[in-house]
Amino acid sequence: AHLERIEAVDEEVHAFLHVDGERALAAARDVDARVAAGEPVGPLAGVPLGLKDVLTMRGAPTTCGSKILQGWHPPYDATVTRRLLEAGLVVLGKTNMDEFAMGSSTENSAYGPTRNPWDTSRIPGGSGGGSAAALAAFEAPLTIGTDTGGSIRQPAAVTGTVGVKPTYGGTSRYGLVALASSLDQPGPCARTVLDAALLHEVIGGHDPLDSTSIDAPVPDVVGAARSGDVTGLKVGVVRELGGAGYQPGVQQRFDEAVALLSSLGAEVVEVSCPSFEQALAAYYLILPSECSSNLAKFDAMRFGLRVGDDGSRSAEEVMNLTREAGFGDEVKRRIIIGTYALSSGYYDAYYGSAQKVRTLIVRDFAAAFETVDVLVSPTTPTTAWPLGERVDDPLAMYAADLCTIPSNLAGNASASFPVGLAPEDGLPVGLQVIAPPMADDRLYRVGAALE
Ligand code: GLN
């Protein structure tokens, strides 16, 4: 049914970059056979899923939305992929994304944008717009995203779906093509809170192949999603994230959702996190610094595209031609910013200062979590904007990440849950919940209360 749905709508939505129906049907039949043989299978066995095209899977291409990886078939499964396959999930294919996960609209994909199923003239968010749109268009009941600065949560908000960024180290980065290694985190995307929790349980937990993986059990996310009890939960509304500059309908739905939590027994207070105002600036130095280094491996020798290799050119010339042709504008912009920020004369002034801001943000969170159990804010300042509106204005594009970035810098658990439609445009609004590291279960408790 999902393959038929993809066939019917994906020409317009373009949530998928690659679909392998035969493989999916074979995997589904395999689960059927296991059930028929009386073998025990997990709760998500046989459920179809879309995988963001930044996670490797043997036997399928991985492009990261970039031309430079065209034709690359990774020789190994990401840990997340392996856990999905072992749990019997049926991978339908790979979902569209901004090139190397840089963007907030999926318009930076080298393979064309994804459209928002609520209004196909609008963006589905990014970088994981494909994973979010696939859910909203009923092309898949579950998808996997990755979140470095909001790429799970912001697309979830603007498509009316659920997206969770686990605690940094809570899900494995092994086999996730790195954008910024100190920020990247794979996570579950779904249409319901319980679906997301069940998926979180499958992909989460310690992985010795990832040096920053936390050696502790996955918090009881499924129990929390089934409970939804927020009685006595202390909820802090972040003063710096909201109010002036936020779309009125976004603020209105957010305020109503907070009032609902309060009527369900949560204790709501206002909390100030002053350094959040510098978070965006710090992120857009730290991320380019890390990605300029991570993307150096795309040298035309080891992966995908190679341009101009006709015997007349040096390796360096081939490398330059390939990177020139293979990377899009946003990727080049960030490589330039990152190499500049890391250069010896500017390292302290830019990268060093940004790291200090990062520490201040960690301290703001620590202080806040001494008095509250979770923090909340709108997930994004606006609903989905029209395709094309921000493509020539990188700063306007970056502003979509205002609320989501602090949790990546601090490594907290964070999620976006749908809280209705903005009255002025009828488009989905998301509420963000942030919990301390390894308290991911609290996200689901709040999400289930709002559902
Ligand atoms: N909009 C953010 C960026 O462009 C999203 C990054 C991410 O989470 N992958 O950096």
- Sorted by where each starts, the structural domains of the chain and their CATH numbers stand as 2-278+354-450 (3.90.1300.10)
Query: What spacing in Å lies between the alpha carbon of 108 and ligand 1's midpoint?
Result: 11
List C-alpha distances in Å: 51 to 18, 30, 55, 296: 10, 20, 7, 25
* ipTM beyond cut 0.85: yes
Cβ density class 248-270: b for 16+ within 10 Å, e for less: ebbbbbbeebbeebeeeebeeee
pTM listed for this prediction: 0.98
Q: How many residues does the chain have?
A: 451
For residue 430, which of 447, 418, 443, 415 has the smallest C-alpha distance?
A: 418
- Determine how many CB atoms are found less than 10 A away from the CB of residue 305: 19
C-alpha 88/C-alpha 407 separation (Å) is: 31
C-alpha 351/C-alpha 357 separation (Å) is: 10
For residue 142, which of 83, 80, 221, 199 has the smallest C-alpha distance?
A: 199
Q: Is the CB of 180 under 6 A from ligand 1?
A: no
Position 329: which residue type?
D
* pLDDT at residue 267, rounded to an integer: 98
In percent, how much of the chain has pLDDT > 70? Answer: 100
Q: Residue whose CA is closest, atom 10 of ligand 1? A: 102
Residue to substitute in 54, 66, 98 for testing ligand 1 pocket (most ligand atoms within 8 angstroms of CB)? 98
Tell me: cis bond preceding 127? Omega within 30 of 0 counts: yes
Catalytic residue among 66, 104, 131, 151: 151
Catalytic residue among 66, 104, 127, 131: 127
* pLDDT at residue 178, rounded to an integer: 97
- Over the chain, what is the mean pLDDT? 97
| Contact criterion met (CB below 8 Å) for 418 and 429 | yes
Tokens of 198: 């069940």
List C-alpha distances in Å: 84 to 34, 214, 396: 16, 19, 36
What is the number of the ligand 1 atom nearest to the C-alpha of 398? 1
Active site residue 52: yes
Could you report the per-residue pLDDT of 23-59, keeping only the tens digit for each?
999 999 999 999 999 999 999 999 999 999 999 999 9
